């Protein structure tokens, strides 16, 4: 072996050590290291699970448009039946990554709602774009919003059933937060069931629930089918809230750091493509409506992704806070405070018995170094801070500074 080859090999070993995210290496230096050519993905074909929802779009379009190839990977989108199925396949390695609920990843990491395994969030896939649907039967009795629902539940005593998509997931947390803000305790005043997103409309049609929280296009589908009304959008609960993430296991990131970065970069670029304009959004809607992806009509998808909303009772509006996949990179950064928020709600609703070390858990899960490298590769702007501040529907501000106090501050809790 020549001295030159030895030198090259030892340099490559140093670079690969940097890629794993060795402590103390400056992220800017790491980005320069990647630019120097040490960034070949260790695994070039990856299987990414998704649930039939509008917000799987950046995963699908990264594959359909061939953006993945630009970063040296081939994405194989894998349609899954339920979030529990996504969880199990991620944990056992049948899936490399998934379009997945933010809170599901955190729940698995802490052993809540399934097997305990170290997990990783590589990027946020979208903000906004979910909703809470109430049945037409409830709407006909005046329950068209939170106040109307609370009034009806107080006047007509019976068991009211609401559905979410996974116990620790985003939809459960939006549903619980909204109900509680109107004085309804989801743990004691109602029955809450878990239903996979594509089965929501069919279950409401046969009377299995009074309301549900789910991602699009299933809220709009309920309106098209004449069986439900939109009581609120999730962006009205929390403007620009985190929703689905690109998730994987901690083991995968350690073993295949370059692959994780390449896939993240490809999906960032796909999100940018979707958000670039009307024609791209329409093409996305036509693509994902296909039976191999969401399996619905294009008209169930293409209105709300443009912010054109109707509530099923004659009201229409243009919502500037519709589902966004990129928004100049503001969507995608895996803010530590976003992950911590889900933990505060898991504690609030008794899913966690004790306060975790909120910040430490978020730092374990959210792969900020890898995200920054992917952002550099895809020319995605970065925020100034790993934390952000938001005001939710009840005026309460969440900034991640005192998560224990925040979690304990709610009057309505488990």
Mapping DSSP onto H, E and C, the string for 173-230 reads: HHHHHHHHHCCCCCCCCCEEEECCHHHHHHHHHCCCCCEEEEECCHHHHHHHCCCEEE
What does the pLDDT read at residue 28? 45
Which residues does 302 contact at the CB level (< 8 Å), separation at least 6? 281, 282, 285, 286
Residue 136 counted as domain residue: no
Is residue 160 included in any domain, yes or no?
Answer: no
Is 215 inside any structural domain?
no
Per residue in 362-387, is it b (16+ CB within 10 Å) or e — as a string? beebbbbbbbbbbbbbbebeeeeebb
| CATH at 375 | 3.40.190.10
List beta partners, residue 123.
Answer: 246
Which residue has tokens 């109107």?
A: 182
pLDDT beneath 50: ranges in the chain? 1-36
Phi, psi values for residue 410, rounded to 5°: -80, 135
| Structural domain contains residue 400 | no
User: Mind listing the pLDDT tens digit for each residue in 150-183?
Assistant: 999 999 999 999 999 999 999 999 999 999 999 9
Domain encompassing residue 20: 11-126+243-305+328-344+353-384
Query: pTM of the entire structure?
Result: 0.91
Number of separate domains in the chain: 1
Residue 238 and residue 177: Cα distance in Å, rounded? 10
Alpha-carbon gap, residue 411 to 414, rounded angstroms: 10
What pLDDT score does 114 carry? Answer: 81
In a domain, 338, yes or no: yes
The three-state (H, E, C) secondary structure of 350-404, written as one string: CCCCCCCCHHHHHHHHECHHHHHHHHHHHCCCCCCCCCCCEEECCCCEECCCCHH
Is 364 domain-assigned? Answer: yes
Instruction: Tell me the C-alpha distance between 273 and 281, whole Å.
Output: 9
pLDDT of residue 6: 39
Helix ranges restricted to H, 39-123: 57-64, 67-70, 83-91, 102-109
Evaluate whether residue 36 is within a structural domain. Answer: yes
């Amino acid at each position: 072996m020549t001295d030159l080859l030895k030198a090259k090999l030892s340099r490559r070993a140093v670079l690969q050590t940097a890629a794993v995210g060795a402590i103390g290496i400056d992220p800017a230096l790491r980005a320069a290291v990647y630019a120097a050519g040490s960034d070949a993905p260790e695994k070039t074909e990856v299987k990414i699970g998704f649930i039939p929802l509008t917000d799987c779009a950046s995963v699908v379009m990264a594959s359909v448009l061939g953006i993945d190839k630009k970063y040296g990977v081939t994405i194989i989108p894998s349609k899954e039946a339920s979030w529990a199925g996504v969880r199990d396949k991620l944990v056992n390695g049948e899936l490399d990554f998934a379009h997945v609920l933010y809170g599901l990843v955190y729940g698995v990491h802490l052993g809540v709602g399934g097997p305990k395994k170290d997990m990783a969030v590589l990027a946020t896939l979208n903000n906004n774009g979910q909703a809470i649907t109430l049945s037409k039967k409830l709407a006909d009795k005046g329950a068209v919003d939170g106040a109307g629902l609370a009034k009806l539940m107080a006047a007509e005593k019976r068991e009211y059933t609401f559905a979410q998509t996974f116990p620790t997931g985003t939809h459960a947390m939006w549903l619980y937060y909204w109900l509680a803000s109107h004085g309804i305790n989801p743990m004691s005043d109602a029955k809450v069931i878990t239903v996979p997103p594509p089965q929501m409309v069919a279950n409401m049609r046969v009377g299995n629930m009074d309301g549900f929280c789910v991602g699009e296009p299933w809220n709009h589908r309920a309106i098209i089918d004449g069986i439900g009304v939109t009581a609120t959008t999730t962006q009205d609960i929390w403007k620009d809230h985190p929703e689905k993430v690109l998730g994987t296991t901690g083991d995968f990131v350690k073993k295949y750091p370059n692959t994780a970065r390449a896939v993240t970069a490809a999906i960032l670029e796909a999100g940018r493509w979707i958000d670039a304009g009307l024609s791209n959004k329409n093409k996305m809607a036509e693509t994902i409506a296909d039976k191999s992806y969401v399996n619905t009509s294009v008209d169930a998808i293409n209105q709300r992704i443009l912010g054109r909303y109707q509530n099923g009772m004659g009201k229409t509006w243009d919502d500037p806070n519709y589902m966004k996949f990129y928004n100049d990179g503001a969507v995608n950064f895996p803010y530590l405070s976003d992950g911590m928020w889900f933990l505060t709600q898991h504690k609030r609703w008794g899913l966690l018995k004790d306060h975790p070390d909120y910040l430490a858990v978020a730092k374990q899960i959210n792969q900020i170094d890898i995200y920054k490298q992917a952002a550099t590769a895809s020319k995605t702007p970065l925020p100034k801070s790993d934390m952000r501040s938001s005001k939710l529907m009840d005026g309460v501000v969440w900034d991640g500074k005192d998560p224990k106090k925040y979690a304990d501050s709610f009057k309505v809790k488990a």
